[in-house]
Chains A and B, each alone.
Chain A
Amino acid sequence: MKKTHNINIGNAIVHIEEDAYEMLTVYLNEVKQHFSKSADDFEIVTDIENRIAEMFAEALATQQKQVINIEDVQSVIGQMGSVKDFEVLEDVEDGAYTASAQYDPIKKLYRDTDQAMIAGVCSGLGHYLAIETKWIRLFAFLSIFIFGGGILVYIIFWIMVPKAKTRIEKMEMRGEETNLKGFANSYLHPFAEQSRGFIAGFIQAIGEFVQGTGKVIFKFIVGAIIVFASLFLLGTIVALAAFLGFWNSDVHNYFPISMVNEEYMFAMAISAFIILIIPLLGLILFSIRIGFNGRPVNKVLSYGLLLIWLGGVVTEIYHVAKIFTEFKEGAEFAQVTPLATYPVYSLKINTARFFTKEDSLNYRIDPTHYKGRKILNNLDDDYNTPRSISFRMEKSLDGKVSLNTNFKSRGKTFEVALKNAQNIHYDFLQEGASLIFNPVLNIPKMANWRGQEVELTLNIPVGTEIQISNEFNRYLKGYGYWDCDHEEGAQYTSWIMTETGAKCKFEKVKKEE
Chain B
Amino acid sequence: MIAENTQTQMRKGILEYCVLLIISRGEIYASDIIAELKQAKLLVVEGTLYPLLTRLKNNGLLSYNWVESTSGPPRKYYMLTEAGKGILKQLDTTWEELSYAINTSRKVADKESKEQTNQTES
Interface residues of A (CB under 8 A from B): 10-12, 31, 35, 38, 40, 43-44, 47-48, 50-51, 53-54, 56-58, 61, 78-82, 85-86, 88-92, 97
Contact = CB atoms under 8 A, between A and B. Distances in A.
Given A89-B12, A89-B48, 11 more contacts: A11-B73, A38-B51, A44-B54, A50-B73, A57-B71, A80-B47, A81-B46, A86-B48, A88-B48, A89-B11, A89-B43
A97 B51 contact: yes
B28 to A, nearest CB: 14
B8 A12 contact: no
Given A61-B71, A91-B12, A47 B50 contact: yes
Contact of B54 (A47, A54, A86): A47
A51 B31 contact: yes
A74 to B, nearest CB: 13
Given A44-B54, A47-B30, A48-B47, A90 B8 contact: yes
Given A81-B45, A85-B44, A88-B8, A50 B58 contact: no
> Is chain A's binding surface mostly helix, strand, loop or mixed?
helix
Interface in B62-119: 69, 71-73, 75-76
B21 interface: no
Contact of B73 (A12, A35, A97): A12
A40 B51 CA distance: 8
A373 B30 CA distance: 98
Contact of A54 (B9, B12, B51, B72): B72
Contacts of B72: 10, 12, 50, 53-54, 56-58
A459 B73 CA distance: 101
A243 to B, nearest CB: 69
Contacts of A58: 71-72
B15 interface: yes
A40 B55 contact: yes
B5 interface: yes
6 contacts: A11-B73, A51-B50, A58-B72, A80-B46, A80-B47, A88-B48
A82 B44 CA distance: 11
Contacts of B52: 89
B8 A86 contact: no
A92 B73 contact: no
Interface string B1-22: 0001100110110010000000
Contacts of B75: 50, 54
A421 to B, nearest CB: 85
B44 A89 contact: no
Q: Counting chain A CB atoms within 10 Å of each CB, which of B11, B46, B54, B72 scores highest? A: B72
A40 B58 contact: yes
A443 to B, nearest CB: 83
B88 to A, nearest CB: 20
A90 B13 CA distance: 11
Contacts of B71: 54, 57-58, 61
Contacts of A57: 71-72
Contacts of B55: 40
Nearest to B34: A79
Given A48-B50, A50-B72, A91-B8, A85 B58 contact: no
A17 B47 CA distance: 23
Contacts of A80: 45-47
A56 B72 CA distance: 8
B5 to A, nearest CB: 5
B73 A86 contact: no
Nearest to A11: B73
Contacts of B44: 81, 85
A86 B47 contact: yes
A54 B51 CA distance: 18
Nearest to A84: B45
